[in-house]
């Protein structure tokens, strides 16, 4: 389990989260917040979520 923790994507600090929200809200206000922008921003977290789901499914099969 400890080796898996090394591969995890750390969550941004609260200050970083606020900055991300401000950036996304600014894009939304300009009409520039598209699914592509969201996908690009959250790709790291989606990849990590998929990795964890796949790992869990593999463990269930064993």
pTM across the whole model:
0.58
Beta carbons of 41 and 27 less than 8 angstroms apart: no
Our CA angle for 3, 14, 28, nearest 5°, is 110
Of 50, 51, 58, give the one whose Cα is nearest residue 4: 51
Task: Indicate whether 16 pLDDT > 70.
Answer: yes
pLDDT grade, residue 40 (50/70/90)? confident
Of 62, 22, 61, 60, give the one whose Cα is nearest residue 41: 22
What residue spans define the domains of the chain? Answer: 33-62
Task: Indicate whether 1 pLDDT > 70.
Answer: no
Beta carbons of 20 and 41 less than 8 angstroms apart: yes
CA–chain centroid gap for 8, Å, is 11
pLDDT grade, residue 49 (50/70/90)? low
């Amino acid at each position: 389990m400890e080796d898996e923790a090394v591969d995890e994507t750390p969550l941004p600090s609260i200050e970083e989260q606020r900055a991300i929200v401000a950036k996304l809200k600014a894009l939304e206000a300009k009409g520039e917040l598209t699914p592509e922008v969201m996908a690009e921003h959250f790709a790291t977290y989606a990849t990590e979520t998929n990795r964890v789901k796949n790992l869990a499914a593999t463990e269930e099969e064993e």
